[in-house]
């Protein structure tokens, strides 16, 4: 996640996307906590939104929202 944020700040969106996708896969595989998964999920959604990929961003935001709402149950 940290390397992806650094890539985003330096304007390397393609590298940030690659790192965030990799981070999400690794976090899911290793059973990372909800906070880490949400953080990467929302960061990738933000990147897609900034790029104008609204359909992809919306899907990720909805996924994050569903996780948050189901965590409260």
What digits encode the pLDDT tens for the residues 9-60?
Answer: 999 999 999 999 998 888 888 876 778 888 999 999 999 999 999 999 999 9
Give the CA distances from residue 63 to residues 10, 19, 53, in Å, rounded to whole numbers and listed in that order.
27, 19, 16
What digits encode the pLDDT tens for the residues 5-15?
Answer: 999 999 999 99
- Give me the mean pLDDT over the 56-73 stretch: 87
Confidence band, pLDDT 50/70/90 cuts, at residue 71: confident
pLDDT attached to residue 32 = 67
């Amino acid at each position: 996640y940290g390397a992806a944020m650094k890539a985003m700040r330096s304007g390397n969106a393609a590298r940030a996307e690659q790192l965030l996708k990799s981070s999400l896969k690794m976090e899911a595989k290793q059973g990372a906590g909800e906070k880490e998964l949400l953080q990467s999920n929302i960061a990738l959604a933000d990147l897609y939104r900034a790029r104008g990929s609204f359909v992809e961003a919306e899907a990720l935001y909805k996924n994050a929202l569903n996780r948050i709402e189901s965590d409260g149950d």
